[in-house]
Structure 1
Amino acid sequence: MAQRVYQVWKGKNKFLLKGRLIFGPDASSLIVTLMLILIPVIIFCTFVARNLIKEFAAQTAGYAVYLVAIIFTIQVLVLLLLTSARDPGIVPRSPHPPEDVSGYDSSASVEVGGAQSLQLPRTKEVFVNGLPVRIKYCETCMIYRPPRCSHCSVCDNCVERFDHHCPWVGQCIGKRNYRCFFLFVSSSALLCVFVFSMSALYMKFLINDYGTVWEAVKVSPASMVLMGYCFVLFWFVGGLTGFHTYLITTNQTTYENFRYRAQNSINVYDRGCGNNFAEVFCRRRESSKINFHGLENEELSKPPKGSIPAMPIGNPDETRRVKVEHSLEMGNDLLNISQWHDSQEAADIRTRATGG
């Protein structure tokens, strides 16, 4: 009987609903994240928002505070689920090393444990927007990683546009869930600001009623605890929001920023602030390259999505083209598709620059 892909997947992911939900191996950390969100909100609604209804007895503002807190919390939880339970952009593994490699001497081999093993080049050079970019061969997934792809040591998968592995959501942050991750972090920061502001407002009402801060704190210690908690937490989620806003404006990932910061090299992916924002927030989310719920045999027999007949690779001055057949290995298909896409973008940019 054929097995489902999620049942035989070699990564360290955890699956629910027969592969429809995919988590990282540290998905249990989600419990901590949920508690950090839900417990303060429950305290706020019980000891602050309910009393603000009394303070605004002649108005509906008190109920609005209650409603906004609940809506904000639901939004944060939904974004958390979409970030942590979604395929971040995992690249399919290849069942064996690529055989058709440009510039590769198939006769070269190295003896490993008494057996002959083909020695593949560690890196290849592709062009992105007319500039050379080196991509690496992944020995675990047995593919040449597409540009901006990296192998996550926690999940044991190659992930497209890999940003980082976030232990707070128990998932890699990559091409398919980065938008939801940013919205989750920024919404959490706004929730902190809202709870802090409303708690401070309630404290002001109590100070006016009882005359001193100490008396107000004795009446509502929960308000002071929430203010302190939100103040500390805002430095974390607010700082993350600011940092990732900077990354979006410059079209970088966390991985690229920390690894290549000291090199002062040109960012070949930066297309201007407006286009960079549009790329993250306006571009349609691509479908997953792997159907984890599907049957293993069906997935292996299907050709990669978006395969094309031919495309240029390597130096643009060279006239050689590599023909991509349906029988090519999965790793080479992914690489060639990525190269074709990048070369098309480069051609579009040059056409616009010349006014054509």
Structure 2
Amino acid sequence: MALVSRRSTRSESTSISKEEHPEGAYLTKLFFRWLVTLEGDQDINDGKGYISIPNVSNYIFFLGGRFRTVKGAKPLWLGVLFVILCPMVLFSIFETHKLWHTRNGYKVLVILFYYFWAITLASFIRTATSDPGVLPRNIHLGQLRNNYQIPQEYYNLITLPTHSSVSKDITIKYCQSCRIWRPPRSSHCSTCNVCVMVHDHHCIWVNNCIGKRNYRFFLVFLLSAVISSIILLANCAIHIARESGGPGHYPVAILLLCYAGLTLWYPAILFTYHVFMAGTQQTTREFLKGIGSKKNPVFHRVTKEQNIFDKGSFLNNLGYLMLKPRGPSFVSARKQHEAGDWRFMDLSPAHSFEKIQEI
């Protein structure tokens, strides 16, 4: 009855909204909501997921849920985007013509640079703006008579046994924020305010979590960034070596050479670390928990731990990561949902059905 009442309340509020505002103003409001969704709106809280997900997360959606980012965080991803775009613009304006039409370069290297640069940009956008594997909220709620207070047994950890060759057990924990029993290897991200499947870490450079559904894009982004920097370095080095004039004839080539040399190392180190993580079937969270440290895991030696998820070899683990299906999006930003869907309702610890009806 409470759920039906809630749905009817939402339907009435939506119809009232349409009656109070002219049709043109209402459609304009929907268009701007489609263009950029900064936060939820109780007047139009049913419909597509991108309208309602901001009610229970820190996500901002663009173009009808096709792209997302996290509000309230430092916009470091804009700096990364600038670092990706700037050298391509300079290379296109000052270097491409010289390398293509003279003996100062090789056409194949120019083509390869643009190819891997395009992969770098595309994989960065996929990593930063796609669903990392967000889990739905409010699946395992408390009882009504206790005003949704979490039962005492929910504070316990559930340990699942594994086969005899693996000494470590699988632990399942209840998330008090999302009100669900998290699947194995899932974790809650306080920055995004969501639980993510196979959560590796929240990356400040892409302003998104790295999880089950975007980990492979993250690895492709790092690898293509390294390769494009190497090719850029090769193009500029060949140009400088073959140029007959002094440094004043190729200042941009020198600038790009320094850029490629400086920006090559960080993604290379990060890619190497994550390859070893993926090859040993460990997430960053599991690795940090195993070594008992919260410091930067890149500076720790990666060791292979006993793991029930291990596929038997380094290459099998990498192949499984890159070739396995991404899996469905459990909280899709572009799918339709009915009014009163509990997955998109923000329930505080003391909430009850009666209080929701009074809103």
TM-score (norm 2): 0.70
Corresponding position of 1:18: 64
SS in 1 for 2:264: helix
Corresponding position of 2:226: 189
Counterparts of 1:65 and 1:77, CA distance in 2 = 18
Corresponding position of 2:123: 79
Q: 1:44 offset after TM fit, Å? A: 1.9
Counterparts of 1:145 and 1:292, CA distance in 2 = 21
Partner deviation per Cα, 1:187-230 (whole Å, 9 max, x = no partner): 00101101011111111112xx24xxxx2x22212122212111
2:181 aligns with one of 134, 144, 147:
144
Counterparts of 1:73 and 1:171, CA distance in 2 = 21
Corresponding position of 1:316: none
Q: CA RMSD in A?
A: 2.9
Corresponding position of 2:96: 49
Matched, 1:205 2:242: yes
Corresponding position of 1:249: 279
SS in 1 for 2:288: helix
Matched, 1:121 2:155: yes
Q: 1:128 offset after TM fit, Å? A: 4.7
Greater mean alpha carbon deviation, residues 46-55 or residues 248-257: 46-55
Counterparts of 1:301 and 1:11, CA distance in 2 = 14
Counterparts of 1:299 and 1:116, CA distance in 2 = 20
- Report the AA paired with residue 239 of structure 1: I
Matched, 1:239 2:269: yes
Matched, 1:32 2:72: no
Corresponding position of 1:172: 209
Q: Which runs of 5+ in 2 are unaligned?
A: 1-13, 15-45, 294-302, 344-359
Q: 1:17 offset after TM fit, Å? A: 2.3
TM-score (norm 1): 0.71
Task: Tell me if structure 2 keeps the 8 A contact 1:50–1:62.
Answer: no
Q: 1:7 offset after TM fit, Å? A: 2.1
Matched, 1:267 2:307: yes
Task: Tell me if structure 2 keeps the 8 A contact 1:192–1:231.
Answer: yes
Corresponding position of 2:18: none
Counterparts of 1:224 and 1:142, CA distance in 2 = 55
SS in 1 for 2:213: coil
Q: 1:262 offset after TM fit, Å? A: 4.4
Corresponding position of 1:336: none
Task: Tell me if structure 2 keeps the 8 A contact 1:54–1:62.
Answer: no
Task: Tell me if structure 2 keeps the 8 A contact 1:45–1:66.
Answer: no
Corresponding position of 1:345: none
- Against the structure 1 CA distance between its residues 63 and 173, is the aligned structure 2 distance closer, same or farther, given a 3 Å change threshold? same
Counterparts of 1:141 and 1:247, CA distance in 2 = 28
Greater mean alpha carbon deviation, residues 218-227 or residues 292-301: 292-301
Q: Which runs of 5+ in 1 are unaligned?
A: 100-106, 303-356
- Against the structure 1 CA distance between its residues 75 and 118, is the aligned structure 2 distance closer, same or farther, given a 3 Å change threshold? same
Corresponding position of 1:229: 259
2:197 aligns with one of 156, 160, 171:
160
Aligned length: 281
- Report the AA paired with residue 192 of structure 2: C
- Report the AA paired with residue 228 of structure 2: L
- Against the structure 1 CA distance between its residues 132 and 95, is the aligned structure 2 distance closer, same or farther, given a 3 Å change threshold? closer
Q: 1:140 offset after TM fit, Å? A: 0.2
Q: 1:53 offset after TM fit, Å? A: 2.3
SS in 2 for 1:165: strand
Q: 1:301 offset after TM fit, Å? A: 8.5
Q: Tell me the percent identity.
A: 27
Task: Tell me if structure 2 keeps the 8 A contact 1:98–1:143.
Answer: no
* Runs of 4+ off more than 6 Å: none
SS in 2 for 1:8: helix
Counterparts of 1:37 and 1:117, CA distance in 2 = 47
- Against the structure 1 CA distance between its residues 14 and 286, is the aligned structure 2 distance closer, same or farther, given a 3 Å change threshold? same
